[in-house]
Amino acid sequence: MNLGVVDTVCKAERNPIGQQFAEAMRGLYTVINCAIVKTDWCSGEKGVNILGIDIGGSGIKGAIVDTTKGEIVGERHRIDTPDPSTPEAVAQVAAQLVQHFQYQGPIGCTFPAVVQHGVILTAANVDQGWIGTNGETLFQEATGFPVHILNDADAAGVAEMRLGAGRGSKGVVIMLTFGTGIGSAIFVNGHLLPNTEFGHMKIRGKDAEYRASARIRAEKDLSWKDWSKRVNEFLGQMEFLFSPDLFIIGGGVSKKFERFAQHLKVRAPIQPAQLLNDAGIIGAAMAAAELFPSSTPEPASEAESEAKPEPKARAKPGPKPGAKAAAKAEAKAEAKPARRKKTTPAEQPAAPESPIR
Ligand code: BGC
């Protein structure tokens, strides 16, 4: 069974009865497909290959990752980020990637914003229509497979801590990604504190990412030395607040680390990220592998079952904003700091099960 079945079903959508039929078939298709895949990935085999997707401001990249080795298997595939990058348009790209790889199974996905239990809470560099959207539910509906979404810097940090510059590091490690924005991930003895968003820390009255991201360096045509002065102010603040044992510098600039390393002046050691552009894809796939484990758990003994709490339900869709912002709002987002949607505790979705969070 493949996604072509859905296309065939869609042809029935010419009259109201056909539409109802198509809707029912889509639901059935999703359930059946998930059931088939669940059997595959619960077979207990080692070396589970999981599709990792990295959503960025200009491109959406996907690849199959061997999550036991943390290695990409085969080719990456890149599709331009739709403009405007509305939830529906981006979800369609995720479905295209699934189709491209003829993939069946759980998916790990990065997102360049705060992601709490699958719900996107900010939108600094993407369409404002994402705020309040449950990305996991949306992508699951679009692809037919379970999806785990986490912040892009958190995903890259997870991969670097497991396999790259942070491997074996104890204490406090701060990963910072310099790209369109600045992403941050903080680890204490290997444990992630998610959604830290230090790119929005104020430096000289502006968000750090509006002074020191790679985008600003390019836009203002700053030399590596002048850009490093701005980065130093940011790293200095971070060091003052957190006394890290290690900084990891990620994002596109990590490839050119030797051009600016000598200008960086902080007490803690600084390492460039090692996984470069693959960190997000690999980290997302590894996070999904932990959330959707490959082997069927041993049946718990009676005593254990009594002691264990009921597993928590998956997050339900978050509240959706009424009006979707279009290109105008997106342009505005470029110039404005991230807007955090206010939610009352009662509106918060269920707690996640991921051990990484
Ligand atoms: C977003 C972060 C993201 C970073 C890097 C920032 O603008 O607020 O969530 O990690 O950009 O993409």
- Whether residue 254 is found in the same domain as residue 201: yes
- Whether residue 69 is found in the same domain as residue 34: no
Mean pLDDT on 101-115: 98
Mean pLDDT on 58-63: 96
Ligand 1 atom closest to the CA of 113, numbered from 1: 9
pLDDT band at 277 (very low <50, low <70, confident <90, very high): confident
- Whether residue 150 is found in the same domain as residue 176: no
Q: How many domains does the chain have?
A: 3
Beta strands in 112-256 (DSSP E): 115-116, 119-120, 147-151, 172-178, 182-188, 191-193, 202-203, 206-207, 246-250
Report the share of the chain in percent with pLDDT over 90. 67
Instruction: Yes or no: say if 77 and 97 are a contact pair by the CB < 8 Å rule.
Output: yes
* pLDDT for residue 318: 36
- Whether residue 257 is found in the same domain as residue 230: yes
Q: Does ligand 1 have an atom closer than 6 angstroms to the CB of 177?
A: yes
- Whether residue 116 is found in the same domain as residue 68: yes
- Whether residue 116 is found in the same domain as residue 225: no
- Whether residue 152 is found in the same domain as residue 71: yes
Which range, of 8-22, 40-54, 235-249, 325-339, averages the lowest pLDDT?
A: 325-339
CATH of the domain at 285: 3.30.420.40
Mean pLDDT on 169-192: 97
Torsion of CA 136, 1, 41, 281, to 10 degrees: -50
Q: Does ligand 1 have an atom closer than 6 angstroms to the CB of 195?
A: no
Is residue 77 included in any domain, yes or no? Answer: yes
Residue 144, phi then psi, degrees to nearest 5: 85, 5
Looking at every residue in the chain, the average pLDDT score rounds to 79
- Whether residue 231 is found in the same domain as residue 267: yes
Q: Supply the DSSP string of 269-332, one letter for each residue.
A: -EEE-SSGGGHHHHHHHHHHHHHS-SBPPPPPPHHHHHHSPPPPPPPPPPPPPSSPP-HHHHHH
Is residue 348 included in any domain, yes or no? Answer: no
Is residue 111 included in any domain, yes or no? Answer: yes
pTM for the structure as a whole? 0.74
- Whether residue 282 is found in the same domain as residue 249: no
Query: CA-CA distances (angstroms) from residue 144 to 30, 31, 86, 96, 112?
Result: 5, 8, 19, 12, 23
Residues in Cβ contact with 167 at an 8 Å cutoff, skipping those fewer than 6 apart: 160, 161
Ligand 1 atom closest to the CA of 57, numbered from 1: 12
- Whether residue 288 is found in the same domain as residue 270: no
62-74 confidence digits (pLDDT tens): 999 999 999 999 9
* pLDDT for residue 47: 52
Domain span holding position 13? 1-39
Mean pLDDT on 187-198: 98
Whether 90 shows a pLDDT value over 90: the answer reads yes
- Whether residue 155 is found in the same domain as residue 176: no
Query: CA-CA distances (angstroms) from residue 159 to 97, 98, 185, 283?
Result: 21, 22, 11, 4
Q: Does ligand 1 have an atom closer than 6 angstroms to the CB of 184?
A: no
How many angstroms is it from 67 CA to the middle of ligand 1? Answer: 25
281-330 confidence digits (pLDDT tens): 999 999 999 999 764 333 334 444 344 333 333 333 333 333 333 333 33
